[in-house]
Copies of this chain bind each other. A is one copy, B any other.
Amino acid sequence: MKLIDGKQTAQDLKKDIAVEVADFIRQYGRRPHLAAVLVGEDPASQTYVRNKEKDCKEVGMDSSLYKFPDTITREELISCVQTINDDPEIDGLIVQLPLPDHLDAQEIIETIDPSKDVDGFHPVNVGRMVLGLPSFVSATPAGIADLLEYYKIPTQGKECVIIGRSNIVGKPLANLLSQKGPGGDCTVTLCHSRTKELDKICRRADILIAALGRPGFLKANMVKEGAVVIDVGISRVEDKNTKSGFRLAGDVDFEQVAPRCSYITPVPGGVGPMTRVSLLKNTLKAALKHIK
């Protein structure tokens, strides 16, 4: 069993990105620039946005934060997005989710200029990805694809089973891994709450991806000997033995499952750190596209 070290991989990839960013600056005389829109005071969202700013700095990109109280109106938020859309100095734009209940997240996302939609949430980017056209792939699916590539795990002709059909992980990932070409060509089965005999289906998988958000869900009897297991889940579970009173848990019962795997991602330190790298890659890609 080999542990897939997402933290280390992310560090390595960030170094590559930093080199590309330095090239970009030399060639075009400015830094790629990511703008984040943050509404309200959700502590987790604040941390995510802070980390994204830190990542930008680390690879030499500019970032800016548009921060609003959760009383912001729909019109004000849309107007802010449009201002950023029109700003030629800004390459990428993310709206940190979730938004307060009075705002329609889907509507706001569809206001983002698809060429700046580095989260890859705009339907145009989802559609272009499905159709195999150049697009921004959302952070988690792209991060998983990068991990598989980094560890030289073959995908062509492999049976891949994905548990969970969310719009930000399961569905785009199923489409991404079944695309024609390198890093794709998997035979993908997408499973969900209505799937019958899930255990049996999971045992078919050469590459098994758990993205349903239920801590410790995937047990050893659901995993074929030698499978690659990717754990996308990240939940807080109570743990009296820690100072904080909780710990982070993935969807995989790691202790049970790990001995059966050829490769497995831990939680934390697996898929998580890779998602932040995807955002940087997309922002650099957006900047290059805007130059052209």
Contact = CB atoms under 8 A, between A and B. Distances in A.
A128 interface: yes
Contacts of A79: none
Contacts of A201: 187
A185 B189 contact: no
A155 to B, nearest CB: 9
Interface residues of A, number: 35
Interface string A110-144: 00000000000011111110111100000000000
Contacts of A15: none
A159 B180 CA distance: 23
Tell me the interface secondary structure of chain A in the complex: mixed
Given A123-B133, A125-B127, A133-B123, A185 B192 contact: yes
A260 interface: no
28 contacts: A122-B127, A123-B123, A123-B125, A123-B128, A124-B127, A127-B127, A130-B130, A130-B167, A130-B171, A130-B175, A132-B167, A156-B194, A157-B195, A157-B196, A165-B178, A165-B180, A171-B175, A171-B178, A174-B178, A174-B190, A175-B175, A178-B190, A178-B192, A180-B194, A185-B194, A187-B191, A187-B196, A188-B190
For this chain, the copies found in one complex come to: 2
Interface in A149-204: 156-157, 159, 165, 167, 171-172, 174-175, 178-180, 185, 187-192, 194-196, 201
A106 interface: yes
B192 A189 contact: no
Contacts of A191: 187
Contacts of A187: 189-192, 194-196, 201
Contacts of A190: 174, 178, 187-188
